[in-house]
């Protein structure tokens, strides 16, 4: 889900030094490569579904950054050099190649050091859902006009995204400086920034984000450092939600040992598909730090009353703590290499399970573990042992959300809870610049105090045998005695 960086250069000459080099780099202070900068202007007409963009990409990594992706409904007016404004020839307009919801374009040559700009126009269907005019489908990659607003999540590629070589990393996480102009919009929101009053505003983010735009006729509020966008948030409920979020942030912070300097933004939108309805929540997506849910429900729907006290919905606690863990794994530390998904998603789910246990108690926790185990069991034929994973795609959805967190919990029983905690904390504090495979992960565990013997036993008992016979089988039933 996140852009990877340039591979380590000069590998052949350094092959004999590699083990030492990797160890050194793994513990070197984080020097994350500068993410691209997205700047320019976007204009939106809510009534007609018209979009006009003039956006520039700069601070691109050297080499191979001449490909970009742009939503397939957008027509390019011109591509030009950012500094000289001279036109740049590009391919992809005819015989276009689709990549998700986008088309790939390639600029063969001539991009100056300042980067390039793309000027484009497109129009999209407007579904006036409040008048009963629904569409057939809706998904995160749809540029959706619901009659009152435009919703364009990162996946839509409403803004150009650089791609490192054909099929390579998509540099979708960017710093941005964007002017939004939408004459009929009461309020405007760009991912992660404070919402602003319409009809036009400039949004700047030095924190790299996946760009997402939500603009239209809807209320916004900022309370306790959290933003509430798209529906009503009464002050008391918003304060309760913000306090609940603070508790989760505090727990994450205690575990990782680094300040949790982020708060989610909550967005309530209306899906345009006739399979959804207003007033009912049936779909959620996250473009961190924005947590978006459909139904255009007021934010009080995130709360329930337990023992006379208003608190976050119990299911939302699990979901939110997983998403919030991506501040550390996915934002502060962008894993790359074979263990990308294990270190992005399994770690987030592992941290969420810890919060489930603390906030909701052992029973809820054990029930979740046994559910994960039962699900993992169904898919185990597909799972490679963690130390045989060679590429990121070896770790599929079930692996990352079901098997992965159980493997981390089991690791605690072999290497020690404190060792696992220190290892994960170190990955966030000093993000490795090298791709992570099991060997580099193991090196990080050893550095945090694991013994080779303990890790050997872990490999023998947890990675080798089938799930039913291995160390994870302890999670088979709810209510097992967990340490």
Nearer to Zn ion, 348 or 351 (CB): 348
Stretch that binds Zn ion, among 152-160, 256-264, 345-353, 444-452 (CB under 5 A): 345-353
Helical segments of 331-472, H only: 340-341, 347-355, 362-379, 397-398, 404-415, 417-429, 438-447, 452-458
Stretch that binds Zn ion, among 63-71, 308-316, 342-350, 359-367 (CB under 5 A): 342-350
Q: Scan residues 171-210 and list those touching Zn ion (CB under 5 A).
A: none
The count of chain residues that interact with Zn ion, using the rule CB under 5 A, is 2
Whether 238 contacts 224, CB under 8 Å: yes
CB of 128 to Zn ion, least distance (A): 34
- What tokens does 391 get? 């590429």
**Beta-strand pair 90-91/102-107:** antiparallel
DSSP conformation letters of 201-253? EEEEEEEEE---EEEES--EEEETTEEEESS---HHHHHHHHHHHHHHHHHHH
CB of 273 to Zn ion, least distance (A): 24
Q: How many helices (H) and strands (E) would you count in the chain?
A: 11, 24
Nearer to Zn ion, 233 or 325 (CB): 325
Nearer to Zn ion, 237 or 349 (CB): 349
Can you name the residues that pair with 119 across neighbouring β-strands? Answer: 54, 78
Q: Any residues with CB less than 8 A from the CB of 24 and at least 6 apart, and which?
A: none
CB of 345 to Zn ion, least distance (A): 5
Nearer to Zn ion, 101 or 345 (CB): 345
Stretch that binds Zn ion, among 17-25, 123-131, 343-351, 356-364 (CB under 5 A): 343-351
Whether 42 contacts 52, CB under 8 Å: yes
Stretch that binds Zn ion, among 10-18, 43-51, 65-73, 346-354 (CB under 5 A): 346-354
CB of 333 to Zn ion, least distance (A): 14
Phi, psi angles (nearest 5°) of residue 282: -135, 5
Distance in angstroms (rounded) separating the CA atoms of residues 199 and 190: 14
CB of 330 to Zn ion, least distance (A): 7
Nearer to Zn ion, 231 or 348 (CB): 348
Distance in angstroms (rounded) separating the CA atoms of residues 412 and 409: 5
Stretch that binds Zn ion, among 50-58, 206-214, 297-305, 344-352 (CB under 5 A): 344-352
Distance in angstroms (rounded) separating the CA atoms of residues 68 and 102: 9
Nearer to Zn ion, 324 or 348 (CB): 348
> Binding mask 295-334 vs Zn ion (x if CB under 5 A, - otherwise)?
----------------------------------------
Distance in angstroms (rounded) separating the CA atoms of residues 308 and 306: 5
Nearer to Zn ion, 54 or 345 (CB): 345
CB of 440 to Zn ion, least distance (A): 22
Task: Please report where in the chains the tokens 């709810």 appear, as a residue.
Answer: 478
CB of 326 to Zn ion, least distance (A): 6
Exposed / middle / buried, residue 453 (Cβ in 10 Å: 0-12, 13-18, 19+): exposed
Nearer to Zn ion, 248 or 471 (CB): 248
CB of 341 to Zn ion, least distance (A): 9
Nearer to Zn ion, 262 or 345 (CB): 345
Distance in angstroms (rounded) separating the CA atoms of residues 293 and 308: 26
CB of 344 to Zn ion, least distance (A): 7
Which residues contribute to the site for Zn ion (CB under 5 A)? 345, 348
């Amino acid at each position: 889900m996140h852009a990877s960086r340039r591979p380590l250069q000069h590998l052949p000459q350094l092959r004999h030094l590699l083990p030492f080099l990797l160890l050194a780099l793994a513990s070197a202070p984080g020097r994350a490569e500068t993410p691209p900068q997205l700047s320019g202007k976007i204009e939106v007409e809510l009534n007609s579904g018209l979009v006009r963009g003039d956006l520039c990409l700069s601070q691109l990594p050297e080499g191979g950054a001449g490909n970009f992706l742009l939503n397939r409904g957008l027509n390019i007016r011109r591509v030009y050099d950012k500094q000289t404004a001279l036109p740049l020839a590009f391919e992809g307009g005819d015989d276009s190649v689709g990549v998700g919801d986008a088309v790939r374009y390639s600029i063969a040559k001539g991009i100056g050091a300042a980067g390039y700009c793309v000027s484009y126009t497109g129009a999209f269907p407007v579904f006036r859902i409040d008048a009963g005019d629904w569409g057939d489908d809706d998904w995160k990659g749809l540029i959706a006009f619901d009659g009152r607003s435009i919703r364009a999540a990162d996946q839509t590629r409403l803004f150009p995204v650089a791609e490192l070589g054909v099929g390579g990393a998509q540099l979708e996480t960017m710093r941005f400086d964007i002017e939004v102009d939408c004459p009929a919009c009461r309020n405007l929101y760009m991912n992660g920034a404070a919402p602003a009053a319409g009809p036009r505003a400039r949004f700047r983010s030095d924190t790299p984000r996946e760009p997402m735009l939500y603009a239209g006729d809807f209320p916004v509020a900022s309370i306790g450092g959290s933003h509430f966008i798209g529906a009503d948030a009464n002050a008391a409920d918003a304060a309760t939600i913000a306090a609940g979020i603070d508790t989760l942030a505090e727990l994450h912070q205690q575990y990782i040992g680094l300040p949790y300097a982020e708060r989610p933004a909550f967005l309530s939108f209306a899906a345009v598909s006739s399979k959804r309805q207003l007033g009912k929540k049936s779909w959620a997506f996250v473009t961190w730090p924005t947590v978006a849910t459909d139904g255009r429900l007021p934010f009080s729907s995130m709360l329930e009353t337990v023992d006379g006290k208003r608190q976050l919905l119990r299911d939302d606690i699990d979901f939110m703590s997983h998403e919030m863990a991506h501040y550390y794994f996915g934002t502060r530390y962008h894993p790359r290499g074979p263990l990308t998904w294990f270190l992005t998603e399994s770690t987030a789910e592992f941290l969420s399970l810890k919060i489930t246990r603390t906030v909701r108690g052992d029973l809820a926790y054990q029930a979740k573990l046994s559910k994960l185990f039962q699900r993992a069991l169904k898919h185990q034929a597909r799972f490679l042992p963690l130390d045989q994973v060679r590429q990121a795609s070896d770790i599929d959805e079930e692996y990352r959300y079901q098997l992965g967190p159980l493997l981390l919990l089991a690791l605690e029983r072999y290497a020690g809870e404190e060792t696992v905690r220190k290892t994960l904390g170190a990955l966030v504090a000093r993000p490795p610049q090298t791709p992570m495979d099991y060997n580099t992960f193991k090196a990080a565990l050893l550095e945090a105090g694991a013994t080779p013997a303990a890790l050997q036993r872990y490999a023998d008992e947890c990675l080798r045998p089938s799930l039913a016979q291995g160390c994870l089988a302890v999670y088979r039933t709810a209510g097992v005695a967990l340490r």
